Amino acid sequence: MVKRKGKVLSVALAATLAVSLSACSSSSSTETSATDKGTGKTDTAVATAGASSGKINTSEFQAISYVMLGDKPKNGQFEKVMDKVNALLKQKVNAKLEIKWVEWADWQTKYNLLLASGEPVDLITGATDWLDTWQNSQKGAFMPMDKLLPQYAPITWKEIPPEDWAESKYKNQIMIIPENHYTQWVNHGFFYRGDWAKEFGITKPITDFQGLGAYLQAVKDKKPGVIPWDTNGTGLGIANGYVNSVTDAIELPIGTGMINVIFGKSFNDKYKAYSPVFDDTFVNLAKMTKEWGDKGFWREDVLNYKGDNRSLMEAGKSSIDQHHTQTYLGERKKMDQLQPGSDLQLFPFSATRNNLVSLSITHGGTSLGAHSKHPERAMMVYEVLRQDPEVYRLMNYGMEGVQYVVKDGKRYRPDGYDVQRDEFYSNFWGGRIDKNEIPEGDTWAGKENLFASYDKIKKPYPYGRFVFDKASVNNELTAVTQVVNQMAPALIYGKAGDPVKAVEDFRTKLKSAGFDKLQAEVQKQLDAFKTLVESSK
């Protein structure tokens, strides 16, 4: 369960950065004062750069880029907050931060193309389970950080234990800084309107796809002008969600495109490679989505549609959305304002079988671009973003008095807050940390019970140190991914004709692409991983 306590660390950070900077900066650097918002004390040490060893000269102002996933905010608040962030970064490490957004429309393709382009980006939001960190490491997209972290991000280096660094390495080199000190639940599911469910006579929580289908049919029948799920063809989370709901399969950190086609069989059979595509699981999924599409649960042109379903749900024009628990908690609060009384509910995919697996510590993290021109300063900037309470709170919450106020140590929305006018987000998912969090004071009353229910059934994520080496099956993995990306959207949204034949065609194309060889290699590496795990006990 998430429990966070804010703690002022500016003095400690200042001292550590001062030592770090004095060991690596030019003597021409100057001392600048900065005020610690948490204590009110003026701290000149943060930006001090004294004696020099000549390794880096902080007198040169540098711009550091940070790749973030998401659509850039359009209400002007982001720019106002970043002005304040950059003023502090200039004082502390003589740098500014430039966010490079990878928008949600076709995000997987855009993200991987950016990393493959050779563009000299600096910090990069990463993840081993949904952003292909290991695959991109094998392609040379990242710069190892082992030698940089101790000197340029010393607090972060020391607070992450060796066993967590071990889960962050590819070929014994650190490729991602884990978000290991931020407690969260990111198990996925569907959000649905509790007020409408009650109106339809659905009195029990939705815990399976059959119940969700009944709800969507009621929306179709009783809410004219509302598209039950106004999704677009790039979001295929329903596929993995269905697998999670009807089997005990666990996602492996192996990217196969828009949907996963190779899983671990179950928690008790975690070292067996399994594909739901080749049994009744996928046939039943295709039959269900064909039926849902024919009933008009989404647009006829879903594969070409580019709308934002979440915004439409917030406007009362769509009845569900698919994402994880953390997003649900934020959306529930947002919907309370935009759709009063909506009583947003969550159907976690794991609710059907109670087969919840905890989060990998590298579900969120930050990597360093292989072509970064300023790797040392990038590490310094990251250290400030993660460790300095004032900068951290700006990046995560926005401006005190505008986006939030603090009362009795908890964070609330200010009086008069308007979500469309005042909302801020930076999607800083690669460096959040519990010690710098300010607990929310106006969270949904059921949050604690929801988290407690998860804690009762959770199982530890078994693949934290499993890194799939694709070298011997690179061609097959590429070909399988191409087949998945070409065929899965139509199949998942019921636009591929007869579902049984569509799945058979999908299977045939996958096998022609080398699926059997790919799965055999996954099994071989899982066997070796099992031996490694058991020998280390």
Query: How many whole angstroms from its chain centre is CA 76?
Result: 24
79 lies in the same domain as 150: yes
What is the per-residue pLDDT across 137-184, written as a single tens digit (0 to 9) for each? 989 999 999 999 999 999 999 999 999 999 999 999 999 999 988 888
Look at the alpha carbons of 152, 153, 158, 163 in this order and tell me if their dihedral is positive or negative: negative
CA–CA distance, 263 with 144 (Å, rounded to integer): 28
| Contact present, 192 and 347 (Cβ < 8 Å) | yes
Which residue, among 79, 176, 528, has the nearest Cα to 382 in the 3D structure? 176
Q: What percent of the chain has pLDDT over 70?
A: 89
96-123, pLDDT tens digit by residue?
A: 999 999 998 888 889 999 999 999 999 9
Contact 231, 298 (CB under 8 A): yes
Q: Which pLDDT belongs to residue 56?
A: 62
Q: What is the mean pLDDT of residues 49-66?
A: 68
Tell me: do 517 and 405 sit in the same domain.
no
Find, among 40, 23, 21, the residue nearest to 32 by Cα.
Answer: 21
Residues 129 and 91 in one domain: yes
- Tell whether 47 is covered by a domain: no
Q: What is the pLDDT of residue 108?
A: 83
Residue 265 belongs to a domain = yes
Last residue of a domain, one of 391, 419, 436: 436
User: Which residue has tokens 């039959």?
Assistant: 287
Residue 171 placed within a domain: yes
Which domain range does residue 280 map to? 231-306+466-537
Report if residue 116 sits inside a domain: yes
Q: How many domains does the chain have?
A: 2
Residues 365, 426 share a domain: yes
Cα angle 91-16-408, degrees, rounded to a multiple of 5: 75
Q: Strands (DSSP E) along 294-335, which ranges? A: 320-324
Same domain, 426 and 472: no
Q: pLDDT tier at 50 (50, 70, 90 boundaries)?
A: very low
Instruction: Give the residue from 58, 66, 71 showing the smallest Cα distance to 30.
Output: 58
* Residue 256, in any domain of the structure: yes
Residue 383: CATH number of its domain: 3.40.190.10
Whether 67 and 180 share a structural domain: yes
